[in-house]
A and B are shown apart, each in its own frame.
Chain A
Amino acid sequence: ILNVEQSPQSLHVQEGDSTNFTCSFPSSNFYALHWYRWETAKSPEALFVMTLNGDEKKKGRISATLNTKEGYSYLYIKGSQPEDSATYLCASHRGGAQKLVFGQGTRLTINP
């Protein structure tokens, strides 16, 4: 994989349900993997920056895992709430590069 790919592109989830989505990134020369949440009319907000293979990070009801050898990360949201509605972006930071390369995002809508 040369690009950063996210799936699905969009997702509708019922309030209270749990959900997860995927980010695939180049595994070679890995340095860090970023997750951002971007709500409409606001700034993208950093959720997690993950650097170690097998790492798992958690913030409230949101957690993320990382597999650097195969080049994927999962983001999990437990007990979805309407305020979780946003676009979730992942971005790859490769060693030697000075910029993040973003996926196209997963647009999450929570139905009350």
Chain B
Amino acid sequence: DTGVSQNPRHKITKRGQNVTFRCDPISEHNRLYWYRQTLGQGPEFLTYFQNEAQLEKSRLLSDRFSAERPKGSFSTLEIQRTEQGDSAMYLCASSLWPRRRGYGYTFGSGTRLTVV
């Protein structure tokens, strides 16, 4: 297993276009998280899945955002009608639940979105 993989690494899109990002977690991890990080801020929680079920969504996740994890493996995050405020680093992380408290998340390298 090569860790958490995110594609693409960078995406530049015009305002109003739709974009989709993909995350491939560590294969045995049943939980998958999406976070967004803007300049000068820490990562902000967007949503998480346990297997294929989306169990929590942040109020940050407007109706233009949708996330799926159809077979409990990879996940996609789609942003429709992108706005300049969507420009950010989108991070994916995975973990195994339940497990002992002392384990952290495994993160991907992120997808940097620039909306022009």
Note whether A and B form a binding pair. Answer: yes
- List CB contacts (< 8 Å) of B84-114 with chain A: 91, 101-110
Q: Inside 8 A of B103's CB, which chain A residues have their CB?
A: 46, 49
Query: Is B62 close to A, CB under 8 A?
Result: no
A49 to B4 alpha-carbon distance, docked (Å) = 19
Q: Mark B38-51, 1 if CB is under 8 A from A, else 0.
A: 00111111001000
Are B109 and A104 in contact, with the CB atoms below 8 A? no
- List CB contacts (< 8 Å) of A16-34 with chain B: 31-32, 34
Interface segment out of the listed A69-77, A78-86, A93-101: A93-101
A32 to B97 alpha-carbon distance, docked (Å) = 15
Query: Is A51 close to B, CB under 8 A?
Result: yes
With A99-B56, A100-B105 in contact, is A43–B4 under 8 Å at CB?
Answer: yes
Q: In the complex, what's the smallest C-beta–C-beta distance from B60 to chain A, in angstroms?
A: 12
Q: In the complex, what's the smallest C-beta–C-beta distance from A94 to chain B, in angstroms?
A: 12
Chain A residue with the shortest CB-CB distance to B35:
A102
Q: Inside 8 A of B91's CB, which chain A residues have their CB?
A: 44
> Interface on A for B, CB 8 Å cutoff?
4, 6, 9, 31-32, 34, 36, 41-46, 49, 51, 89, 91, 98-105
A–B complex contacts, Cβ < 8 Å, 5 sampled: A43-B109, A44-B107, A49-B103, A98-B55, A102-B42
> Interface on B for A, CB 8 Å cutoff?
3-4, 33, 35, 40-45, 48, 55-56, 91, 101-110
